[in-house]
Amino acid sequence: MLSVLSEKSFRNLFFAQNFSLLGSGLATIAISLLAFDLTGRNAALILSGLFTIKMFVYVIFSPFAGAIADKFDTKKYLIIQDVIRAIAAFGLIFVSEIWHLYIIILLIYLKLHHKISHL
């Protein structure tokens, strides 16, 4: 099963994707804790709104993602998306109001998926 990791391109993509998913998971935890810190008892309402937006972003943009992504070099495209998401996650440091969280969650989870067939 691990023999597939002997292919350099796949191995690089595999570890980069897992690192990216780890970052997304940590961002979700950070957003949840920050929402609780900003709103206290109303955090459940805010979080339900934030994660509803997260799912809408996936549902609305996923059908168009392949067409958009095919116009760019795959490797550069994935790197640019991860850099944008890292900058957005860094923006969590400066959040002082709830609406900031809504903007950041849009930026973090607005990743347009691409078919990875020609890396």
pLDDT in tens, the chain (119 residues): 677 788 888 888 888 888 878 887 888 888 888 889 988 888 888 889 888 888 887 788 777 777 777 787 877 877 887 788 888 888 888 988 888 888 888 877 776 544 444 44
- Tell me the three-class secondary structure of the chain, residue by residue: CHHHHHCHHHHHHHHHHHHHHHHHHHHHHHHHHHHHHHHHHHHHHHHHHHHHHHHHHHHHHHHHHHHHHCCCCHHHHHHHHHHHHHHHHHHHHHCCCHHHHHHHHHHHHCCCCCCCCCC
pTM for this one? 0.70
